[in-house]
Amino acid sequence: MIDEKLLEILACPACKGAIELQDDRIVCQQCGRRYPIRNGIPIMLVDEAEEPEAEGGEADSSD
């Protein structure tokens, strides 16, 4: 779907980290932001990115 040469030169606009293609998103390996791909075009805008999910995903239960 996305040209491999294009993926090699793209970087996360937020942190300048390396990116990788995961399913229908481009994901930053450093900060975890996920950028959508629409009609085969990566939308590399910070405002369009999905924020990374919290690590662990469980509530803190320090009773």
Question: What is the residue-level pLDDT of the chain in tens, covering all 63 positions?
Answer: 788 898 899 999 999 999 999 989 999 999 999 999 999 899 999 999 999 876 555 554 455
Q: Using one digit for the tens of pLDDT, what is the confidence trace for 11-26?
A: 999 999 999 999 899 9
Q: How far apart are CA 43 and CA 37, in angstroms?
A: 6
Domains of the chain listed by start with CATH number: 4-48 (2.20.25.10)
Alpha helices in 1-63 (DSSP H): 4-9
